[in-house]
Each structure stands twice: as structure tokens, then as C-alpha cells.
Amino acid sequence: MAAQAQFEALILGSGQGGKLLAWHLAHSGRRTAVVERHWIGGSCPNVNCMPSKNEIWSAGVAHVARHAAEFGTKTGRVTIDMVKVRQRKRDMVDRQIAAHLRNYKDSGAELIMGAGHFVAPKTLAVRLNDGGTRMLTADQVFLNVGTHATVPDVPGLQAASPLTNIEALELDHVPPHLIVLGGGYVGLEFGQAYRRFGSRVTIIEHGSQLLSREDHDVSEEMQRILSAEGVECLVAAQTLHVHGRSGKDVTVTVRTAAGEQRIEGSDILVAAGRTPNTAGIGLEEAGVELDARGYVRVNERLETSAPDVWAIGECAGSPHFTHASVDDFRIIMDNLAGGKRSTRDRLIPYCVFTDPPLAHVGLHEGDLRRQGVTARVAKLPMNAVLRVQASGEGPGFMKVLVGASDDRIRGFTMIGREAGEVVSAVQVAMLAGLPYPKLRDAVLAHLTMAEGLGFLLSNVENAEK
């Protein structure tokens, strides 16, 4: 039996919030260790956000190069070097890993590379990547184990060895015909990027629209944008079975309202949701309960059912974004210092990195109906924003929801260039409880996208008396 090492704080999984907590605790003098089986720094810098955006930017350059003549720049034939695309991404990931290792060293937090599972409350056995086992125990334990891509239970899909985001980001060639299972943000981002690299792309979504959580007009606009680039989108399509092998030939049979059809492709990518990494890690030994979907059951302070055990990020069912995991860290950090922060009523924006991107904060129109809230809705097409007239930055719209009888902004959605930046301005106004006329009447710099907020908010009707 390996000797048991004792820590004050032990973090399982070096996810986004977990690593920040580890560095913070170690910096403040607490004996801290992080157990990580693969990704130094978690999934965001290694296989999720940063590498996907890196390759999306490469695809965007290809798109601009193909359309350069429209702006008066002549180029030759545009060809794609996926080995170079991949290398650019790998170099960025290597830089990220090096930066993370420096932070571990500087903070004094110990990084233990291996797969951890609980053998008793607050006690982990770690199968070390270099061989052997280490037993670790701690006064306080934090779970930040994340999620992995769900492979839906479709006959033949598992046998087809589908790509997930991880393998799709390691391709050294452009797939002739990429079939994407799932019309959520991961499927759309990859679908558009590979279309721009030159693949034929078919996105299959079983729900009635792409981006199921968005309002119908938002989803429709996004589908129009993708279709205009040649991405084929099948919605309300039930995947019946898959034959063949990704990377060679795959045939997917789907049923839609129009009947059954076979889609023949070269590669298949699963982007059909995420499954928490909570199975098989002994959480029952640790007294940590899961909810019906396999996420760690936590309260508003991110405390689990086991004393002195917290959960952070996606595995705790927090919204699946890096900034949510980072905010989980801030909540726990403040509460450990005697604070009373909670996850309740957090205003969490998000951005889908299609081109143009989609960004959102606050309520959707659908939420208004569900919550029985009444609001005024105003919209502005992006071509009414003067910057778009000059730059030709294309389609999309802004939409704002304002309280029916107060002037508070309840929600904002934008499909358009710089949407991820513009949403922050609206978010700040919402956080400040600013009546919408204050933002409408603000002097916003000319020929920015944010200038459009003034026009949008001028379209809000007068309040009910």
C-alpha cells in the first residue's frame, strides 16, 4: 500500500476554476495538490475553447481570402494546408501548457499527473501516468472533473469511431464530406469552419431548430447564414443508424418529415451534448451525491452532499462555459474567506463563435413566456448599423427585451460581427440596473458595432401606463 500524502486542499481535475483555486490557495500558503489525468490547464486551452477558436480563425482567413476580390484585393487560388492549421493550433496549446506549468511552479501547488478516484471520504487513489499509485487525502476537496462529448445511442455510431471535438482539432486534412451530429454551438462552429476549409458539411439536428435554446428568429437567421455558405442543415431529423467508419466512408440514415434519407459522407463528428466525468471515480465512497443526469449535486454555494467537498464548473451543472467555471472559483474563494456568495441570479453571457457570432445575455423571448414576464421587444437588422454599410460585415440582427412597465433591460441577443464585445456593454448596463434610455442616449463612438445599440434602443416602444 502506497504511503498517504496529506494536503490541506486537493483538487480533482485541473479545470478552469479548479486550477485558479489551486494557485490561489497555494499562494496563500496552503498545502495544495491538483490531480489531472490529461490536460494541463483543463479542456479550455487544450481541446475546447482556445484550440477551436484558433482553427476557426484560420478558417475565417480562408474565407476572407476567397472573398478578397470583393474588396479589391486580388489573390490566387486559395488552398488549405491543414498540417499548418493544426501546427498553429498546437503551438498555441504548447504555449498555454508552458504558462500553466509556470503558474504551478510559482504558486507552489503540486500538479500530480494521473487518474484519481475516491477510495474513502476525502481520500483519493491516483493511478499515476508515469506508473504506480499515490494515495492522497486532504482537509478540503474540490471536484473539477468536467464533461466529455456524448456519443448518442444510435446503432452503428460507436462502431463508426466518430470524431469528437478533440479529434476534429487534430485532423491533418480537409474531410471531403463532414457529417455533424448535433446543431448546438459546437456543431455549428465546427460545421462552418470545415465548410470554409473546403469540406462539404451536413449538420443533422434532431430538435425542431438549430441552437435549441435560442428564440426561433435567432435560430432561423443562423440557419440562413450557414446555408448561404453551403452548409446543409437538416432539422427535426432523427438519426436512425450509421454505417461505415469515420475517416473512410460513413452513411447516416435519418428520418425527417419528408421521409427517410441516406447521407453519404467521409467523416462524422459528434456534437450532441456533454456527459459529466463523474462515473467510475468512487464518488459514492466519498459520500458525494449525483443528480439524475450524473452531475454532482451542489447547493448555491457549490457545496456537495459530503462535508468539506465542493464542485466547480461543468461537473457541478454550472453553465457550460469557461467564464462560469471561473466564477464558481470566485464564489468558493470568497466563501472560504467567510463570504456569502452564491450562484443564484448570476448574469452569464455567452458567445457562439460562428461568423458572424451570436452573443446573448439575460432572458430569451421564450423565457418571458415561461416566467410569465411581459416585456417590450425591439429589433434592428445589422445592415441598419452604419459600420456594416462600410465594412460589408453582413447579416444578423440585434434584439433587446425591456420590461413592460419598467425600463430595465431583461435580455439582449445579437447575431453580428463583434457580438461578443457588444454584449458586454449591454451586460454592464443590466448589472448597473441602468434604465434603457441611458444607454440609448449615451454618446457611442461612430462606426463601431456598439453604435447600433442607440438605434436598437430607439426602437423600444413607450412603456405601458
Compute the least distance from the CB of residue 133 to ligand FAD, in Å. Answer: 13
Q: Minimum distance between the CB of residue 118 and ligand FAD, rounded to whole angstroms?
A: 9
1/279 with CB nearer ligand FAD = 279
Q: Which is nearer to ligand FAD, 115 or 404 (CB)?
A: 115
Beta carbon nearer to ligand FAD, 14 or 246: 14
Q: How far is the CB of 386 from ligand FAD (least distance, A)?
A: 29
The nearest distance, CB 111 to ligand FAD, in angstroms, is 11
Based on CB atoms, which residue is closest to ligand FAD, 101 or 463?
A: 101
d(CA 336, CA 353): 35
User: To the nearest whole angstrom, how small is the minimum distance from the Cβ of residue 419 to ligand FAD?
Assistant: 13
- Give the binding site for ligand FAD (CB under 6 A): 12-17, 35-39, 42-44, 48-49, 52-53, 115-116, 144-146, 165, 186, 277, 281, 313-315, 320-323, 325, 353
**Minimum CB separation from ligand FAD for residue 413, in Å?**
17
CA 439 to chain centroid: 29
Q: Least distance from C-beta 313 to ligand FAD, angstroms?
A: 2
| CB 460, min distance to ligand FAD, A | 29
Instruction: Rank residues 283 and 388 by Cβ distance to ligand FAD and give the closer one.
Output: 283
Q: Which is nearer to ligand FAD, 16 or 223 (CB)?
A: 16
Backbone φ and ψ of 443, nearest 5°: -85, 105
Smaller CB distance to ligand FAD: residue 320 or 376? 320
Q: Closest CB to ligand FAD among 23 and 436? A: 23
Q: C-beta of 116: minimal distance to ligand FAD in Å?
A: 4
Residue closer to ligand FAD by CB (options 142, 436) is 142
Backbone angles phi, psi at 234, to 5 degrees: -110, 115
